[in-house]
Amino acid sequence: MFTGIVTNVGHVQSIEKSGDTRILIRSSFDMTSIRIGSSVACSGPCLTVVEKGEDWFAVEASAETLARTNIGLWVAGTPVNLERSLRIGDELGGHIVTGHVDGIAKVIDSYVEGDSLRMEFQLGSDFRKFIAVKGSVALDGVSLTINSVEGDSFWVNIISHTQRETTFSFTRPGDSVNVEVDVIARYVARLKEFRSDVPER
């Protein structure tokens, strides 16, 4: 479980494709506090630490993860938003994020608005029912508030602090980002489906 509050930006050091894809990520995390088997959100997907060193850790991505995320586009040097899993008593600063990515959105536009960066994203129509104005969404693992919605597109404003502390300072139109819809929106939509299946009396 995560909150979408990124605490470190790491960088891909190497990628090895054999069976599952093994990714080595360099990070300034205190590696003595990270155990083998720990969960780390890596630009959205929750991945398991399988090995670690003084300033790096390694994770593995399955074929299912590669099919649903942008990890297949990563190369050596790619910046990665990192968040360690919540502990009991931690502050819930963003919103409830599971690390289970739903799909990929494409950056359509980006422009400066005051001190913020306003970005437009296009998402598949299957996800439209989960996106609502003033609702939450996790993009590349970052908890953000949806400012407006039109068709398959939605907009967010990224404040200067978030730009500095995440990979959004590198994100440009044409890029793809990992999307996890709000878990509450997902269950509400599912309940509505069940209600629509109930025959009228």
Instruction: Say if 48 falls within a structural domain.
Output: yes
Provide the 10 A C-beta neighbour count for residue 3: 19
Which residues are bridge partners to 12 per DSSP? Answer: 25
Cα 83 from Cα 162, distance rounded (Å): 14
pTM score, two decimals?
0.91
Single residue among 57, 84, 111 that ends a domain in this structure = 84
Q: What does DSSP assign to residue 43?
A: S
**Does one domain contain both 153 and 107?**
yes
Total domain count, the chain: 2
**Does one domain contain both 113 and 79?**
no
- pLDDT for the residue numbered 129: 86
Instruction: Say if 3 falls within a structural domain.
Output: no
The pLDDT tens digits for 60-115 are 999 999 999 999 999 999 999 999 998 777 777 778 899 999 999 999 999 999 99
**Does one domain contain both 110 and 187?**
yes
Instruction: Say if 56 falls within a structural domain.
Output: yes
**Does one domain contain both 72 and 130?**
no
The pLDDT tens digits for 1-31 are 899 999 999 999 999 998 899 999 999 999 9
Instruction: Say if 95 falls within a structural domain.
Output: no
Classified as helix, coil or strand, 154 is strand
**pLDDT category, 134, cuts 50, 70, 90?**
very high
19's torsion region: left (phi>0), alpha (psi -120 to 50) or beta? left
Q: Which two tokens stand for residue 192?
A: 């509505």
Percent of the chain with pLDDT over 90: 78
User: Which residues does 80 contact at the CB level (< 8 Å), separation at least 6?
Assistant: 9, 10, 11, 12, 25, 42, 43, 74, 167
User: Which residues does 50 contact at the CB level (< 8 Å), separation at least 6?
Assistant: 22, 36, 58, 59, 60
β 20-26/8-18 pair status = antiparallel
**pLDDT category, 201, cuts 50, 70, 90?**
low
Instruction: Indicate the residue type of 99.
Output: G
Report the CATH number at residue 18: 2.40.30.20
Nearest to 1 by CA among 102, 103, 90: 90
Single residue among 22, 56, 84 that ends a domain in this structure = 84
What's the domain range around 22? 8-84
